[in-house]
Structure formats: C-alpha cells, structure tokens
Structure 1
Amino acid sequence: MSTTAHTIDEVQGRDEPDRVFRRYVFNNHETCSNCFCRIKSDHRRVSKGTQGRDLESKATRAETVRLWPTEPGEIGPEGPCVGSQQVDNTAIAKYPVRTVCEDCGSIAGRADSDPLSRRKALARAETLADRLAKVGEPVQLDLLKHLVGHLKSQEDLSSYDTECFEAATTIAVREARDRR
C-alpha cells in the first residue's frame, strides 16, 4: 500500500461546484446579489460612528430639564421635571454606511424579491460569468446562459431566481472544470 503526499492547495482545493455560486457571488458582501456586479464601498470608520454620505437626522436631541432640590424630601434626587431643551448632538451623530450598487441601484446589494424576466436573467448570466471568471472559476458562458434560460422558462421554477442561477452555475462550473 502506498500513500501520496499532497500539497496544502491540493488538500484544501476549490469548493465543490454546488457551493461556488453561494460562496463567491450570492453571499459575498463585495458582490451585488441582484445583478452580480462588484459593489464599491465609499465609507470609512471614524472614532464615533461611521462617516459616509448620509447623516441620520440626529443633529439635535431633547434633554430633560429638572429642578435641582434644595431641601430634603423633594421628589427624586434631581427634582421634578420642568421641561426639555434641544441639545447639540453632532458629537455622537451616526453616519450609517450606505451601500448602493452603482449598476442596478440595489440597496446594500441585496437581491430583489420580485422575479426577473427571462431576458433580464439572461443578461445577468453574462455578468455572473464575468464575476466567476474574476474569482478564478471556469465557466462556459453559452452553457450558463442556456441553463438559466431553460430554468427560467419552466413554470414551476421561473419565480426562483437564486435557485435557477445556483443550479445553472453548478452545472456550468462542473462542465468547465471537466474540460480543463
């Protein structure tokens, strides 16, 4: 009986074809799950919150004004509430990260819940093939488009965009790897 030594890359290897779509495209925070384009990030962290394009409307806040007690037995340790006043809050204002796909306008790069038309799905299959190529996954564009088109034309599958793209990617990647 003989054993063969393997390099670390051979042991870890690449993901199985059925995991490629979810890992490198759909669940990748750098990729828009709606159109499969790369999402650009234009924010940076600062000491308080995040500095970005949008400021939440918290520049002022109401602060309670209390009457300070002068004698023991007054209500509460700070006295009764006599009103409120607006206080500048910009020191703790939060600048939330706003990520919007520049290609399709998807907020945070999330896939739309409305199903794509067959034509739009075929156009996105081309972008999907480009994204897979950029992560080093081989894929046959013609086969990927054919599979997406076929799955989207099936009445019982046409509303399941993610599943259609995932199944088509699995088969197209498997076929491309076998031809290498």
Structure 2
Amino acid sequence: MKTLLAAVLALTSTCIQAAQFNVLVFSKTGGWHHDSIPAGVDAIKDLGKLHDFTVFWTEDPNRVFNDKELGKYQAVVFLLTTGDILNVDQKAAFERYIKAGGGYVGVHSASDTEYGWPWYTRLVGHMFYVHPTIQTAVLKVEDRQFPGMERWAPRNLWTEEWYEFMPAASNKLK
C-alpha cells in the first residue's frame, strides 16, 4: 500500500507545475477598438500554458489598478489599448507598481494610449502619430546576436501596418 501511494504521489507531483509568474492583460479602449483583442488574449494565454505563467485578462481598470491588485502580478500587458483609460488614482497606482519593479509590455496601440500623461509617454518612449495603409517593407537584421534574431534571415520582406511615431520623450522615467 505504501509503495502504491508513493508511486501515485510521484506521478502526480511531476504533472503539477507551479506558475512561474502572473501576468495581467489589460485591453481597455477609449478610442479605436481592435477586433483582434480576443485573438491577442488567446495568444498570450497560450504562451502562459506553454511557459508556465498565469494570465488574467480584464478591460475594467477599477478591478485591478490599485496597489493590492497590481501587487499580484509581475507584469502588466497593455494589449491594444487606446485613448484615455485610467483615472488619476489608477495612474498613481500603476506608477508605484512600475517604480517598485513591476513589468510592463505594450502591444501595438499601447503607444496610442494616455497622450496627456507624461509619465506614461516616458514609459512607452514614443507615442503613435499615424500609420499609412498596410504595406510591405524590407527588414534588415542589424544584430543576429540579439535574442530571438538568430533565426531570422539577414533581410526579410514583411507586410505590416507600420507606425510612425512622435519624437521621443525627452525625460527619463522617474
């Protein structure tokens, strides 16, 4: 009986893996709403399953943009966000979260979000200005040693919605 119990415990313990970290995916829009948001959420959830991290998705800033809730996550993903989406208290909580070492990932139109918030502009680095129609461009890999680029050909044709950005924010994130 002890041998059977030990065998069952050994088998189940190898199947149970703890999540490495928790990610908040936030996709509120106050401007353009991308139809691809659900597909983006699914892709991040699939990455979570593949790489053992948990994903929580919401479009409700009242639910998560406070010190207690943000403290549950090691990274916040602004997925296809647009426009003004956070109030003053939520912005302050997000700033404290980042200053305390929390992670941020901005996907696509995250740079088309919160134009009037200078701190966020510095976090993003460049804000969206405009994009022309979808077109093809030549991409040249400058550094094949950069992680993830070793599999790319030296030159690639890529069709995309290329963004034009405003000039860089002049101040470093404080």
Whether TM exceeds 0.5 here: the answer is no
What TM-score results when the alignment is normalised by the length of structure 1? 0.24
**Whose Rg is larger?**
1
Higher fraction of strand: 2
Structure possessing the higher relative contact order (Cα contacts under 8 Å, 6 or more residues apart): 1
